[in-house]
Amino acid sequence: MALDTWKNLMFGNAANPGAFELHMLPLDLLADARGLKKELPPNFNRYLARAVDIDVAANTNSAFVYAKMCRLIVLGFIERPRFRQLRGTRIAMKQGVIEPGYFGLSQELLNFLVARAKNMAELNAQISERQQAKIDARMRSDPNRSAQSDHLAAMMQDVAMFGSAAFESEDPE
């Protein structure tokens, strides 16, 4: 039902998503992790800034489709959450405009992002030496571009927040 509703919305056959709310959350690097540092994995900024991720998730409060495209998260709720901490993220359907403002997220969504970042670290740890050598060679082939990259900025922020742990990879289980 949610899929049909979103499809009709995209093709202009519906004015709004009804019960299947759409939310958009722009992301930036985390500048300060006071109070959260012990919860966050040392690749958290790299996950926020650079990861592309998709999932369908559910818990006792909600069910949603999660699409993360680098610095942007889109959530499509199949079952609306009981919490209201997603302030400013609901996509208003009038004229297709999203206005900048304060965006708040719930502890549940933060926990979800932490789990996804940890999963990404585990996947990165499984990159073969051969593939890692190709990645390193590509970065060295254009050092100016690498130095100006979003990836390097995110890594530097992870190092500032987590020190040498930002370079440690988790062993896959």
pLDDT the model gives residue 100: 64
pLDDT the model gives residue 120: 94
Q: Which two tokens stand for residue 72?
A: 């942007």
Q: Are 159 and 165 in contact (CB under 8 A)?
A: no
How many structural domains does the chain have? 1
pLDDT the model gives residue 171: 45
pLDDT the model gives residue 80: 72
Q: Residue 72 corresponds to which amino acid? A: L
Which tens digits make up the pLDDT trace of 89-133?
777 666 555 666 677 777 888 889 999 999 999 999 999 999 999
* Residue 64 belongs to domain spanning: 2-167
pLDDT the model gives residue 95: 57
- Answer whether residue 173 is part of any domain: no
Q: Are 63 and 20 in contact (CB under 8 A)?
A: no
pLDDT the model gives residue 67: 95
- Answer whether residue 79 is part of any domain: yes
Sites in the chain below the pLDDT cut of 70: 81-85, 92-101, 169-173
For 151, how many CA atoms within 13 A lie in the half-sphere containing its CB?
Answer: 9
Which residues does 3 contact at the CB level (< 8 Å), separation at least 6? none
- Answer whether residue 44 is part of any domain: yes
pLDDT the model gives residue 101: 66
Distance CA 24, CA 8 (A): 19
pLDDT the model gives residue 73: 93
Q: Which two tokens stand for residue 102?
A: 């304060």
